[in-house]
Amino acid sequence: MGENRTCPVRVFLSLGSNLGEKEKNISRAKELLKKKGIEIIKESSIYLTAPWGKKDQPWFLNQVIEVATSLPPEELLDLIKGIEKELGREKGEKWGPRIIDIDILFYGEKVINLPSLTIPHPYLHERAFVLIPLTEIAPEFVHPVLKRKAKELKEKVAEEEVKKWEEKNVV
């Protein structure tokens, strides 16, 4: 039997951009999510963050949003990939620069391990640029695998390369 589409699920998404008009890219991604029926419940501040994985590239703007959707996880992923493509994202090197990056961090309390989709996101507990904004909007949310609250996971990461974004910041 398929997923129940009538009951919205609490989902956390990470949005990031380090090419072009970064703040506008994030705003456009949120507009497209809403246009495609995804309800945005909460938004963190936007943060200026150092690149992760591949360091020799521009700094990112990152944000975490809580959304509600009735789409099953795989359909949500397809919708997100379509939005990334619509905004101009091209397949490039892993952890390389990008116009927009949208990751599914959590899909309710589900644990999913498919070739195309792993939820919870496999690296989120190592990433200050995810944990700081996540803790801002959902400090008590419990990671369904690690069984730790977002605020507890945040205590384990270095925060020096994550700053609240202000337009006067130079990127």
Catalytic residue ranges: 89, 98, 101, 103
Cβ atoms of 115 and 107 closer than 8 Å: no
Residue 84: C-alpha distances to residues 52, 91, 101, 128, 150 (Å)? 19, 10, 7, 23, 26
Q: Which two tokens stand for residue 59?
A: 């700094």
User: How far is the CA of 80 from the CAs of 32, 112, 162, 168, in angstroms?
Assistant: 9, 17, 25, 30
d(CA 171, CA 152): 29
Cβ-based burial of 157 (10 A; exposed 0-12, middle 13-18, buried ≥19) = middle
Q: What does each C-alpha distance from 31 to 24, 25, 35, 90 come to in angstroms?
A: 10, 10, 6, 20
Residue 64: closest CA among 7, 26, 117, 119? 26
